[in-house]
Amino acid sequence: MKKTAVLALGGNAILKVGEKGTVEEQLANTRESMKGIVGLIKEGYNLAITHGNGPQVGNFLIQQQAGISRNINPLPLSFLNAATEGTMGYMIEQSLDNRLQKENMDNKVMTVITMVEVDKNDQRFNQPSKPVGPFYTKEEAERMKETQGWHIVEDSGRGYRQVVPSPLPLNIPKANVIKGLVESGTVVIACGGGGIPYYLNEAGEIVGIDAVIDKDHASALLARVINADLFIILTGVEKVAINYNTPNQIDLDHLTVDQAKQYFEAGEFPAGSMGPKIRAAIDFIENGGSEVIITSVERIVEALKGQTGTKITL
């Protein structure tokens, strides 16, 4: 039987830092990222793809603010999460379909709009931490904080960004559907942007809630519940590093879970950058997963073969 992999594609792989965010830019970036993903399929893996939406949903939030002056009622964040699942799923699905056709491969690709259950009393709702939208200078950030009431943080030396609540994912109701599709050979795009967060009220009804679930945490949960053999987290760097972006930077080829915990607790992995990826990797391994690879989108196949990337195991 084929092995199953869950591949988490970062939102910044689709909209890169410094770009204007045009459809043409995002499509070009998405198409480029498909080369490595097709390589993974060629290596014999059934595949579920997840993706981040931090830059995209943040831009949607800015558009909502701009529309208020035109008497357009802004959409809540839960609806914007759903919108990014559709738009970004469409970009990935279209790009992957085209790439598979060029490679004379007949794999089917399907986007599944995915709701993800959270705890409405999660304390993270009181502590916004998920960076969304573009990067700002310190002066721009102060202005946004004053005029819009945004929560703003400095993001790993790259600039300042708005942050929103990011509760932990608890349950993916469509997991069995996703698992069945993946096992049939369909490439499934699911849990986009971490999924659409919701909770169940006293009547057992689904109620959307405004937050952005971290894509890596949702991906780790998906990987666990569909019994994935491999969890791949794609990011902007080729390897995990300690002393990152300093003269003493050390790239890491392999980490055990215990080593990852030690570095995490020592503050080596910032909350707005590598931190959620390491936490998600630890969660996957400690809940029965066998292997996590963290690398860049360009080096997926080489990382799979042990030629680059950072491997995390028990």
Residue 277 falls in the annotated catalytic set: yes
- Asked about 35 being catalytic, the answer comes back as no
Residues 29, 53, 130, 311: which is the catalytic one? Answer: 130
Q: Which amino acid is at 234?
A: L
Dihedral, CA atoms, 28, 29, 30, 35, nearest 10 degrees?
Answer: 100
- Catalytic, 12? Answer yes
Exactly one of 11, 36, 192, 275 is catalytic; which is it?
11
The catalytic position among 174, 215, 239, 311 is: 215
Residue tagged active-site, from 174, 179, 239, 277: 277
Instruction: For residue 121, indicate whether it is catalytic.
Output: no
Q: Which of 104, 54, 103, 98 is closest to 80 using CA atoms?
A: 54
Task: Tell me whether residue 11 is one of the annotated catalytic residues.
Answer: yes
Which positions are catalytic?
11-12, 130, 215, 277
